Amino acid sequence: MFDITLIAMGKLKEKFYLSAAAEYAKRLGGYCRFTLLELPETRLPENPSPAEISAGLEKEAELIVSKIPKGAWFCVFTPEGKELSSEDFAQTLAAVKNSGKGSACFLIGSSFGIAPRVKQKADLKLSMGPMTFPHHLARIMVLEQLYRAEAIQAGSKYHK
């Protein structure tokens, strides 16, 4: 069975986000071995300087890189990434599976982004579009799209 890991910076606190995340994680379990890793965001001052942001992202990078499963195909969600339809995302994930990889890892960075060196490690940089979303909502959207991609590959009626 294929392994999917989602690394997300920060913890969900709101019950409605927790409930939605749990539902999609449960659904994904029917298609893959799914793991969610919540990593702590670096605490920064109220109005951090660019240098403080860069140092914080670099500290997060150390932790992120240590948590990427060895040999996994790696995808980061970042505004400058490529935009894909749900069908294209499903095809991309299918191609990863067909390439012989046993796992994929996805990353949702912190509210200040992702360190450049982590982005450089990515096999794919993906964008959720030009709109700005709260990070907690973005996590639910990524979980739903992962589930949708698996459902499309399985020929399920979930995706119409």
**51-68 pLDDT, tens digit each:** 999 999 999 999 999 999
Do residues 24 and 143 lie in contact, with contact meaning Cβ atoms separated by under 8 Å? yes
Residues 6+ apart with CB under 8 A from 117: 58, 61, 65
pTM: 0.95
Taken in order 130, 136, 137, 139, the sign of the CA dihedral is positive
Q: Which domains, from first to last, does the chain contain?
A: 3-44+51-154 (3.40.1280.10)
**64-90 pLDDT, tens digit each:** 999 999 999 999 999 999 999 999 999
Q: Name beta bridge partners: 107.
A: 7, 76
* Residue ranges in the chain modelled with pLDDT below 70: 160
